[in-house]
Homo-oligomer: A and B are copies of this chain.
Amino acid sequence: MAKDFYGDLQLGILGGGQLGRMLIQEAINFNVNIHILDPDKHAPCRNLCNRFVNGALNDFDTVYAFGKGLDMLTIEIEKVNVDALEKLEEEGVLVYPQSRIIRLIQDKGLQKQFFKQNDIPTAPFQLISSKENLATASLSLPYIQKLRKDGYDGRGVKKIVTESDVATAFEAPSLIEQWVDFEKELAIIVSRNENGEVATFPCVEMEFNPEANLVEFLISPSTLPFEIQQRAELLAKKIAEDLQIIGLLAVELFLTKDGQLLVNELAPRPHNSGHQSIEGNFTSQFAQHLRAIFNLPPGNTATRSNAVMVNLLGEAGHEGLARYEGIEDVLAMEGVYLHLYGKKYTKPFRKMGHVCIINEDRETAIRIARSVQQTIRVVT
């Protein structure tokens, strides 16, 4: 694309949530004109763009009308109408990541088949069309059932441990995946631009909230042996190249107890597992996504500090207008960076913000992060 676009480029973002919001914080530095489409009239980006359209992301006409006349489209959520994106792409709008990649990643079944076809290590799986297929499944218990489409943030995922769990399984096209007794869950973010320049961020380690099935704690960089991290990086680069993606790709991986790396899922966009890059790395994932889609050289992804990212989730039992407790105390702690997402309403486990803690010493950063978790609360 033309390199003197600054000031003229009309960039549409499908989705106006926190990822769009943090992308805008960076896009401001490039003079880009931002257009947002989001179904929530209170979306976090509503007041931070040239044009905010309140509409459904999965509706063909809405997405097509939104994108028509823009120079470029990107996403902050995969659950969007891909047919509209494909048509816009044919008509000359730059869609990054490309519509075919969004289509692939929307369907966890296709995503798994893509792994298999490209020799990308992943847990054994089987596609099923309805619950009754489970009776004759080739996988042994326990396994995970995942809806092929529309799962998000832990929704649409069920663990099937005993025969009796089968009765409560989802009745929808899904995949079942061998339960992996993993040692660690890792993530790597990789970017690729139109010139084919590929860059990976250092590997990070994740800790999940088992109740909400959400990342609640992320440590950067990983302290796993160099050899494992290098394997993860090569894998992320291979996937970016196999996909020929333009933009950012988050690769979630399991490290199994026997040292294998298995790819869990992909997200072709900025991702929760990269938020710590804003303060913890020389280039943030948001700046890197923009560099990739604008076909600019990738920024330096190296670690600048040890960083721990804590998601601020809506407190259980609280639903309504959000109120934040403990912010002043948290901001008095060393190396604490607050990011609130501008969401008007909280509900249990809703992502309302995050806090990044940086420190020269990894253990100190973790200690402060635990203290942040105990101090800050999103209530009503």
Chain A contacts to B: CB under 8 angstroms: 3-4, 6-7, 21, 24-25, 28-31, 33-34, 47-50, 282, 291, 296-297, 299-300, 304, 321-325, 327-328, 331-332, 334-335, 337-342, 344
Q: Across the interface, do B297 and A332 meet the contact criterion of CB distance under 8 Å?
A: yes
Given pairs A24-B28, A31-B341, A291-B331, 15 additional interface contacts (CB within 8 A):
A3-B327, A4-B325, A6-B340, A7-B321, A7-B322, A7-B324, A21-B28, A25-B25, A28-B48, A29-B337, A34-B47, A48-B48, A296-B328, A297-B332, A299-B331
Stoichiometry (number of copies): 2
Cross-chain pairs A/B with CB under 8 angstroms, 26 sampled? A3-B327, A4-B323, A6-B323, A6-B340, A7-B321, A7-B322, A7-B324, A7-B340, A7-B342, A7-B344, A24-B28, A25-B25, A25-B28, A28-B48, A29-B338, A29-B339, A29-B340, A30-B338, A30-B340, A31-B342, A47-B50, A48-B48, A282-B335, A297-B328, A300-B335, A304-B304
Give the CA-CA distance A35 to B321 in the complex, in Å. Answer: 22
Give the CA-CA distance A6 to B342 in the complex, in Å. Answer: 9
Q: Across the interface, do A342 and B28 meet the contact criterion of CB distance under 8 Å?
A: yes
Contacts of A6 on B, CB cut-off 8 Å? 323-324, 327, 340
8 tightest A-B CB contacts, nearest first: A297-B332, A31-B340, A47-B50, A6-B324, A29-B339, A31-B342, A3-B328, A296-B331
Q: Closest chain B residue to A7 by CB distance?
A: B322
Contacts of A33 on B, CB cut-off 8 Å? 47
Give the CA-CA distance A29 to B340 in the complex, in Å. Answer: 5
Contacts of A28 on B, CB cut-off 8 Å? 21, 24-25, 48, 342
Give the CA-CA distance A322 to B342 in the complex, in Å. Answer: 33
Give the CA-CA distance A323 to B48 in the complex, in Å. Answer: 24
Contacts of A322 on B, CB cut-off 8 Å? 7
Give the CA-CA distance A49 to B48 in the complex, in Å. Answer: 6
Give the CA-CA distance A24 to B25 in the complex, in Å. Answer: 9
Contacts of A340 on B, CB cut-off 8 Å? 6-7, 29-31
> Given contacts A50-B47, A300-B335, is CB(A324)–CB(B4) below 8 Å?
yes
Chain B CB within 10 A, most for which of A47, A297, A339, A341: A47
A86 → B minimal CB distance (Å): 29
> Given contacts A4-B324, A28-B25, A49-B47, is CB(A297)–CB(B339) below 8 Å?
no
Contacts of A338 on B, CB cut-off 8 Å? 29-30
